[in-house]
Amino acid sequence: MSASRRQFLNAGAAVGAATVAACASPGPSGAAGPKVLFGQAPVTVPVVGRDEQFQVRRIYCVGRNYAAHAREMGSDPTREPPFFFQKPTDAIQVVPPGVTVDHPYPPITKNYHYEIELVACLGKGGRNVTAAQALDMVFGYAAGLDMTRRDLQRAMGDQKKPWEVGKSFDKSAVISHIHPATMTGHLAKGAIWLKVNGNVKQNANLNQMTWNVAEQIANLSTFYELFPGDIIYSGTPENVGPVVRGDVMTGHVEGIYDISVKVV
Ligand code: MN
């Protein structure tokens, strides 16, 4: 490739990047950005007690963050550093209070699992923050389900391939409305459970996390610059298991209303 051709391509890439950034961040004035093809509505989650909705920027998830769950997944639950994966932002499925939301059984899988989790929702960003600073970044909390195509996750992991298809798919990030931390306080202990058709499946306490929310944020901020709108699924306790069409999952996180989801 000639030098001039390379310069041309680099310039094009720079323009493209600037355009994308402008689309993602229209700015505080709300001024119209560039004309875009196939424009998408922002992904938002209602906030309890507020008119404004929370716009989701990125969905991070913590893996194996309760020792007993690490053991059931075949891992050594010693305090290895937390690890993270992401789901696409548009995987969000909001579950309002007092209703049971239909959740489609996803394609390909034959072993579809629930994972009840506390979700921390950031209102401030930062990088290389300390655990002592981290909770100041948390705007609020939600109850979530990190839905998982377990058979695909395992098959890909066994082949040392990315387990993307097991975790990142449509509607795989189920979430309640967000409760501001000003209402709930910071959630560090209390019951977290999941029932299927009224039968308790998962039942633990938030204080059993290997890495608490502040430590998760601090560690994550060494890998990525964090921004307002980022949310973190903080890991699930033991006794994950399958659901099939017709099952109703009820999820509870202390301080948050219970979420109800029917697999259809
Ligand atoms: Mn999970």
Whether residues 15 and 126 share a domain: the answer is no
DSSP H or E segment with residue 154 = helix 150-158
31-84 pLDDT tens trace:
678 999 999 999 999 999 999 999 999 999 999 999 888 888 888 777 688 999
Residues 22 and 81 in one domain: no
- Based on the fold, state whether residues 150 and 87 are members of the same structural domain: yes
Does 52 lie in the same domain as 32? no
Count other Cβ atoms within 10 Å, centred on residue 53. 15
Residues 140 and 181 in one domain: yes
Which pLDDT score, from 0 to 100, does residue 67 have?
86
The per-residue pLDDT of the chain, averaged, comes to: 90
Q: Whole-prediction pTM value?
A: 0.87
Based on the domain organization, do 32 and 51 belong to the same domain? Answer: no
**Looking at the structure, do residues 74 and 187 belong to the same domain, yes or no?**
yes
Selection from 245, 233, 243 nearest residue 116 by Cα? 233
Distances in Å between the alpha carbon of 82 and those of 4, 25, 115, 141?
45, 30, 17, 20
Number of domains the chain contains: 2
Identity (one letter) of the amino acid at 15?
V
199: phi then psi, degrees, rounded to nearest 5: -100, 130
Same domain? For 64 and 182 the reply is: yes
Instruction: Residue 19: give the domain boundaries.
Output: 1-39
User: Cα(142) to centroid of ligand 1, in Å?
Assistant: 14
Tell me the CA–centroid distance for residue 35 and ligand 1, in Å.
38
Check whether residue 121 and residue 35 sit in a common domain: no
Q: How far is the CA of 206 from the centre of ligand 1 (A)?
A: 14
